[in-house]
Amino acid sequence: MKQSYRATLAGLGLALAALTVHAAPTVYIPLGSGNKVIAVDAANDRITSTYDGVKNPHGLVATPDGEYLIVGSLTETPVPQGSPVETPNSMLYVVHPAHGHVMSTIPVAGWTHHQAITPDGKYVISTHPTRGGVSVVDVAENRVVRTVKTGPAPNYSLVTADGKRIFVSNSGNGTISEIDTATWEVRRTLEGGSSPEHLVMDEARDRIYAASGRTGQVSAISIETGKIVRSYDLGKRLHGLDIGDDGTTLFITVISDEKLVALNPDTGAIRSQLLAPAPYHLGAVRGTGKLYVSSRKQPKIWVVDQKTLEVTGTIELPAGEGHQIGVVR
């Protein structure tokens, strides 16, 4: 009897371990004009939590352990005439999902577009389009410790897997700035296409991909040389950009043409799926084979199969529109 009981317990332990290993990710999505952040269970595509106390949230990253969300705001207050350029007039919000509310705020200079975080969770990088650079927040100290000038209208940033370099798209002059995190200085400037906005990186293939919203092109840039090696014409008003679970396929939203595009950057082959109205931000939910794609004009997110581009579900939002998507496993 004891042996049978122990065997049953062991079996339950293995089953629970398997469930833990294969638990679906949680997806966090800021809702912009809805003044909320939501959590979605990627197993069933249902909203599980809503976080208030954030004003016009757009950019979002989670710490590697998933304990905190750092959320940027598109809202800024006017700066009094004669004030220094770096006078704080906007906020980052630190949300603790387990506690269900905003734990603290971090003053920053200028509204923030998108966020990135270093692999060790120590620093959060925010782009500030009206200030021509990025701010660097020390998460433990809860404050801005550096500001780095990059170029006009910085939009998006990426951090390398080793955390040693950060790439920032400057949509105002068609460049990408490379920042050395040892010195927090711009060490070189890469080509970025006509108006690079969202970025995604494939370090194994020596590529950064940049979506140029105004010209409808995705540019493939060599990380080693800093030169554009290939461009792809995809449509009008590109916006969202990510790499799929296969590590190769690029997914891009084309707002004016109301479609989602799947691009093989090696062959140039393109597949597309009509999504209306106005497909906007997107994110690959790693390990699930899903894409989450928001609408610019309606409070909803499409759930799309990466392989077939079939819409398999819809997440109805309480308000606003989905922006930068953060995934925590």
Q: What is the pLDDT of residues 5-38, one digit of tens each?
A: 344 444 544 444 444 445 799 999 999 999 999 9
Distance CA 24, CA 125 (A): 27
- Predicted local distance difference test score (pLDDT) of residue 248: 96
- Predicted local distance difference test score (pLDDT) of residue 9: 41
Distance CA 65, CA 50 (A): 20
- Predicted local distance difference test score (pLDDT) of residue 21: 47
Q: Which residues of the chain have pLDDT under 70?
A: 1-22
User: DSSP states of 208-232 as a string?
Assistant: EEEEETTTTEEEEEETTT--EEEEE
- Predicted local distance difference test score (pLDDT) of residue 23: 78
Distance CA 262, CA 249 (A): 6
**Which of 290, 291, 295, 292 is CA-nearest to residue 280?**
295
- Predicted local distance difference test score (pLDDT) of residue 81: 86
**Which of 111, 215, 218, 127 is CA-nearest to residue 177?**
127
Provide the b/e sequence for 11-37 (b: ≥16 CB within 10 Å).
eeeeeeeeeeeeebbbbbbbbbebbbb
- Predicted local distance difference test score (pLDDT) of residue 6: 44
**Which of 147, 142, 105, 107 is CA-nearest to residue 127?**
147
Q: What is the pLDDT of residues 94-111, one digit of tens each?
A: 999 999 999 999 999 999
Write phi, then psi, for 5 (nearest 5 degrees): -65, -45
- Tokens 């140039």 belong to residue: 268
- Predicted local distance difference test score (pLDDT) of residue 82: 85
**Are the CB atoms for 242 and 263 separated by under 8 Å?**
no
